[in-house]
Amino acid sequence: MLATRHVVCALSGGVDSAVAALLLRRRGYQVTGIFMKNWDSLDEHGVCTADKDCEDAYKVCQILDIPFHQVSYVKEYWNDVFSDFLNEYEKGRTPNPDIVCNKHIKFSCFYRYALNNLGADAVATGHYARTSLEDEEVFHQKHVKRPEGLFRNRFEVRNSVKLLQAADSFKDQTFFLSQVSQEALRRTIFPLGGLTKDFVKKIAAENRLHHVLQKKESMGICFVGKRNFEHFILQYLQPRPGKFISIEDSTVLGTHKGWFLYTLGQRAKISGMREPWYVVEKDGVKGDVLVVSTLQAPRTDHPALYRDLLRTGRVHWIAEEPPAALVRDKMMECHFRFRHQMALGPRLRAGQ
């Protein structure tokens, strides 16, 4: 008779992770719940709800009769996630801290703690995602040391685990898991991958998990909370006043506190302007933000807001190696998504 499999489930204090732990227990696994504290609420005058979330996660473990642990990754979060967040903004880019958090905290720090300190056979989260492995296959995965050096055989046959979209296309969270390592994916179970959000809520309601069911779903960046984003970011970055300038006639429309506060394509709230203006370009040298009004276009958009070319930094391949077609032809066709819940875009020709 096989020993009971031990799965350590990350609990956020929300309904999704609570139901994930419940489903794992129903499958007969030995389940342990862990709450991760990643942001120091004392620094933010109680804005972050980490303490309440921890209480809710603990109550979930009590209801399910499973062990509860709390770990703190405040230092790691600051160094690997928040510092990166600030650095990217200073460079004029718009980072996504959820993606970086999953990469460095949940599927690195938490993953290693679960396996090395708690003796887990696998880890689990409440993400809406799937992998190409069945649960039992996950338990048979062993750590595979990657070959060292740059000159690995790229065509070596590897049984790579694929990251697959969830059944609930609206809730699918593979966008946020796009930087997770192959090693972590091999030992991860996503119990909600085949379920819809409505069904998850139904399960919670039927299993005494009303305290998490009634909570509002967390949206946006945890460490910002309900505050004004501009006010928050300017606590950490120096203001760099500049002008909003129309690309149509170079008219100065107003002023701002920093060009890095704006994302290409976003609506720019310009004082005194009633019509919608959108960011087209940012001049980091002069500090100007170039904008355009869609009311000046024949439709509700403007050609200046579109691009037919984009350049990426280093690419993270979930399977660890580039697709054979790209290696062979230096070109491949792919679909793309640059925002959560955005439909996969039309085919994109990508080259090295």
101 is catalytic: yes
* List of residues 6+ apart from 84 with CB closer than 8 A: 95, 97, 100
Token pair belonging to 43: 């620094």
**Could you tell me whether strands 163-164 and 130-131 are parallel, antiparallel, or unpaired per DSSP bridges?**
antiparallel
Give the span between the Cα atoms of 205 and 337, in whole angstroms: 34
CA distances (Å), origin 118, targets 111, 126, 225: 10, 19, 32
User: How many other CB atoms sit within 10 Å of the CB of residue 309?
Assistant: 6
Token pair belonging to 321: 């190696």
Token pair belonging to 325: 């077609």
109 is catalytic: no
Burial class (CB in 10 A: 0-12, 13-18, 19+), 151: exposed
Please tell me which residue in 9, 54, 61, 101 is annotated as part of the active site.
Answer: 101
List residues with catalytic annotation.
101, 222
